[in-house]
Amino acid sequence: MPSDKTLTALITGATAGFGEATARRFVKEGYRVILAGRRAERLAALRKELGDAAHSLVLDVRHEPAVASAMGSLPREFAAVDVLVNNAGLALGLEPAQAARLSDWETMVDTNIKGLMYCTRAILPGMVERDRGHVINLGSVAGTYPYPGGNVYGATKAFVHQFSLNLRADLIGTRVRVTSVEPGLAETEFSLVRFKGDADKAKQPYAGLQPLTGEDIADIIHYVATVPPHVNVNTIEVMATMQAFSPFAFSRDG
């Protein structure tokens, strides 16, 4: 049963992948956890599994008024958020920019950038007031290394990286920490979403190698959250051992 000293984590995108694994991990480590996401049934099932340590919040992070109102009306025992895991996010499509759908680009910007901004802006004042807290943002290797078809997805993750560093600049003098966790290839529902439900296509990126898992990333998130309070991990980049870099591309046709 949570006590007054129990830390509280709010995890966006807790219905699948990294968020779901992180919720399980944090509850196992004795935290209270707020599970946020759009799929109510999945949230209810996870809430049931995790018991009284969990509170579920059906929330679309793209809607600022809904974010502000949900964050402002958390039950008393969950209201002082110690760790915000800004994890909700997605990639849509892998087409080159000239063929990509503008509506996919807008959804990625609205979720990965604006949703993350809304959640951060809603939670940060309380952390500063309490002089305690940690914002953990899910960036990606796609925010640092370009790849064909990564166009807007990678750019949203470059935003996450720089926003995280800029938050550190603003928060100097407080005990509020900020970390950008930047994974490479990890097998979750990410590719199923990117390829819009095409299960065969979604399997391909992981075929024949051992990708990262949700649990691997939950481990990293838990690690950065539990280093001593005087230590801030700014950025942590992690890849599967079987993923690395390619040489530059050249076109010799022109």
Interface mask toward ligand NDP for 90-129; x: CB under 6 A: x--------------------x---x--------------
Of ligand 8X3, ligand NDP, none, which one does residue 62 interact with (CB within 5 to 8 Å by kind)?
Answer: ligand NDP
Which residue in the set 124, 142, 212, 225 belongs to the binding site for ligand 8X3 (CB under 6 A)? 142
Interface mask toward ligand 8X3 for 205-244; x: CB under 6 A: ----------------------------------------
Size of the site for ligand 8X3 (CB under 6 A): 6
**Residue 118 annotated to the active site:** no
Torsions phi, psi of 11, nearest 5? Answer: -120, 115
Look-up: residue for tokens 């799929």? 39
Q: In sequence order, which residues have a C-beta less than 8 Å from that of residue 134 and are 6 or more positions away? A: 82, 83, 84, 176, 177, 178, 179, 224, 225
Which residue in the set 60, 106, 216, 219 belongs to the binding site for ligand NDP (CB under 6 A)? 60
**Nearer to ligand NDP among residue 14 and residue 176 (C-beta):** 14
Of ligand 8X3, ligand NDP, none, which one does residue 119 interact with (CB within 5 to 8 Å by kind)?
Answer: none
**Nearer to ligand NDP among residue 7 and residue 14 (C-beta):** 14
**Nearer to ligand 8X3 among residue 16 and residue 142 (C-beta):** 142
User: Which residues inside 215-234 make contact with ligand NDP, applying CB under 6 A?
Assistant: none
Nearest to 235 by CA among 170, 163, 149: 163
Of ligand 8X3, ligand NDP, none, which one does residue 16 interact with (CB within 5 to 8 Å by kind)?
Answer: ligand NDP
Size of the site for ligand NDP (CB under 6 A): 30
Of ligand 8X3, ligand NDP, none, which one does residue 216 interact with (CB within 5 to 8 Å by kind)?
Answer: none
Binding residues vs ligand NDP (CB under 6 A): 12-19, 37-39, 59-62, 87-90, 111, 115, 138, 140, 183, 185-186, 188-190, 193
Catalogue the active-site residues: 153
